[in-house]
Amino acid sequence: MTVSRRGFLRSTGALGLLSAGGLTGALASMPALAANTTGYRALICLYLYGGMDCYDTVLPYDQASYDAYAALRAPLLDQYRDLDRSRDRDALLPLTPSNAGDFGGRQFALPSELAPLHSAFQAGNAAIMGNVGPLIRPTTRSDFFNEGHDLPPRLFSHNDQQSVWMSAEPEGARFGWGGQFADAALNSGANQIPLFTSMSPAGNNVWLSGDVARQFPLGLDGPSNLVALQWPGYFGAFDESIRPILQQHFEQQGVSPSNYLQSDVADAMRRSLDANAQYAAAREEVPALTTEFGQDYLSQQFRAVAEMISLRDVLGASRQVFFVGMGGFDTHDNQAQALPNLQARFAGAIATFFQAMQEIGAQNEVTVFTASDFGRTLTVNGDGTDHGWGAHHFVVGGAVNGGQIYGDPGLYTPEHAQDSGNGRLIPTLSVEQYAAPLGRWFGLNETELNAALPGLANFATTPNVV
């Protein structure tokens, strides 16, 4: 009997449902009619490891603010002038937000390296979230210096703040809010093959980790496979007849595990092999993207995500979350040389990804947002900056209520009401306030949203960014 690729995907998708987590996974994937899973929606978290300098991303543009900023950052701006003068006021790209009146005459701009995001903002396809970061409850400068005020754990620590951003807990957390968004979707029967819900070409991370959702590693060049099956000759002389025997071995066919550990390992191996076969079959079903991505690592991650999204109909997916990552933002030194290149790379990668989404007609169904360990200090240490707290972020996509600055980028002077010292911004938008509109757009109801973001109840409002 001949089985079509689409038939193979349907049949193995049903098997994947039953093997995605035993009885619990199967029951959790049955429709609960809670989260809205109509149409297609995807969230992509672009994580900028190291803590991107918010003051070197959204810069002041009105003359008074720029002059105050330039005086405080004179050593760093002198280095920029020696290189390319890209932080001179007349080289910046001024923003014209539709809510400009909210800032009392203050104006803002982006550096030229972020030109693709500037264009998206001006066209209404991107928004800026001003001064976002981990909070337990609203906090001011006087609160910060009050020993009785609740503060996020282990502020200014890379590993812990990465985890707090992704899960509201320090390093060692089990579940992230991206994974819990995926849980809500899977509990409502969003996807025919549950394993194609939480995915990353950048390795496992807590943001994607859910109770039901399992992380699927995206290869940069299609599905990954066991070396023994993909390149059996790697191990020396190989008889092709051995391949099916190896396949049976890795799938644990005919084996009755004697304990739970063996059973779980066998299930995980089967899930992985099944998913790779389903992924490979789907890629043959759908034309390759024509959008040309850059050859840098981040661009190739976005290409892998774009390719997976192009398979959404064949794989029967209506809700997906993705994680891509980029390092190098811990700019204690050489900031003038390092940061502009990093900014150009991630802005270009986002723009190319958005072009690919337009190619497949998904530009209104996919939202990209940035995250990072923390912002950095307004004061400089010579040729770099130190660890901060709040930072500014981008939300990009056709469904974004763009062309606005949500929240407040803050003042470019020290010792104001949201300064915890040396220009470390105390966030005015919590991570929960940032995540909540993304979750609502993804389809979560308020009960599911509060379960995924338990700290949300401590904040009165959320910005309607998407």
pLDDT for the residue numbered 14: 40
The pLDDT value recorded for residue 18 is 33
Mean pLDDT of the chain: 89
Residue 249 pLDDT level (bands cut at 50, 70, 90): low
**pLDDT score for 238:** 56
pLDDT given at position 276: 80
Q: Higher-confidence residue: 35 or 367?
A: 367
Band of the pLDDT at 242, cuts 50, 70, 90? low
pLDDT at residue 26 above 70? no
Q: Decide if 62 is inside a domain.
A: no
- How does residue 459 score in pLDDT terms, banded at 50, 70 and 90? very high
Residue 154 lies in a domain: yes
| Predicted structure pTM score | 0.87
Q: What are phi and psi of 442, to 5 degrees?
A: -65, -25
pLDDT of residue 263: 64
Could you list the residue range(s) of the whole structural domain that residue 425 is in?
5-55+96-458
Phi, psi (deg, nearest 5) at residue 137:
-155, 165
Residue 348 has pLDDT above 60, yes or no: yes
Instruction: Please tell me the predicted confidence (pLDDT) of residue 237.
Output: 53
The confidence score (pLDDT) of residue 25 equals 38
Residue 277 has pLDDT above 90, yes or no: no
Q: What is the pLDDT of residues 407-434, one digit of tens each?
A: 999 999 999 999 999 999 999 999 999 9
Q: Which residue has the higher pLDDT, 287 or 273?
A: 287
Sheet containing 108-110: give its strands across.
59-60, 108-110, 93-94
Place of tokens 């007609």: 361
Residue 380 lies in a domain: yes
Query: Tens digits of per-residue pLDDT, 165-210?
Result: 999 999 899 999 999 999 999 999 999 999 999 999 999 999 999 9
User: Could you report the per-residue pLDDT of 310-336, keeping only the tens digit for each?
Assistant: 999 999 999 999 999 999 999 999 999
pLDDT at 301 (0 to 100): 98
The C-alpha torsion from 116 through 117 and 123 to 129, rounded to 10°, is 180
Q: How confident is the model at residue 255 (pLDDT cuts 50, 70, 90)?
A: low
In 294-442, DSSP assigns E strands to: 319-326, 366-372, 391-396, 405-407, 429-430
State residue 220 phi and psi, 5-degree precision.
Answer: -75, -20
Stretch 87-104: mean pLDDT, rounded? 98
Domain presence at residue 465: no
pLDDT above 80: residue 41: yes
Q: Quick count: other Cβ atoms within 10 Å of Cβ 225?
A: 16
3-state helix/strand/coil string of 60-116? ECCHHHHHHHHHHCHHHHHHHHHHCCCCCHHHCEECCCCCHHHHCCCCEEECHHHHH
Whether residue 29 is predicted with pLDDT greater than 70 in this model: the reply is no
> Greater confidence, 225 or 35?
35
What is the distance between the alpha carbons of residues 154 and 138, in angstroms, rounded to a whole number? 17
Of 168-182, 261-275, 350-364, 377-391, give the lowest mean pLDDT range.
Answer: 261-275
**Is 202 contained in some domain?**
yes
**Over 50: is that where the pLDDT of 12 sits?**
no
**What is the structure's pLDDT at 248?**
65
Q: Please measure the distance between the N-terminal and C-terminal CA atoms of the chain and give it in whole angstroms.
A: 48
Report if residue 425 sits inside a domain: yes
Mean local confidence (pLDDT), 220-238: 61
Q: Which pLDDT score, from 0 to 100, does residue 20 have?
A: 37
Number of compact structural domains in the chain: 1
**Helix (H, G, I), strand (E, B), or coil: what is residue 391?**
strand
Give domain status of residue 454, yes or no: yes
In a domain, 79, yes or no: no
